[in-house]
Amino acid sequence: MNFTVTVQDSHRSEIQDVAERLRARGLEVDRVLEAVGMITGSAPEDRQAELEAVDGVSSVDGEVRFLLPPPDSDIQ
């Protein structure tokens, strides 16, 4: 599952360290967005609580997917 991790403001200066702690807990880090204090990556869905427990993490949000029918399909 894809996750977006928000880093606590008090830990933004050490965002690379937070990313390493997340890697140690199983997050495959895709990007570290220092300017906005976010880290994106993927991990098994059952790891979310473990990722949330990492020091410096404010929140861990899973990807939400929407499936829409084709525009020319019948109304459902």
Model pTM score:
0.84
pLDDT at res. 74: 80
Show the domains of the chain with their CATH numbers: 2-62 (3.30.70.80)
**Structure-token pair, residue 19:** 């990313």
Residues 56 and 18 sit within 8 Å (Cβ to Cβ): yes
User: Which residues in the chain show pLDDT less than 70?
Assistant: 76
Q: What is the pLDDT of residue 28?
A: 99
Q: Are 76 and 31 in contact (CB under 8 A)?
A: no
Q: What pLDDT is stored for residue 34 in this prediction?
A: 97
CA distance 76 to 67: 13
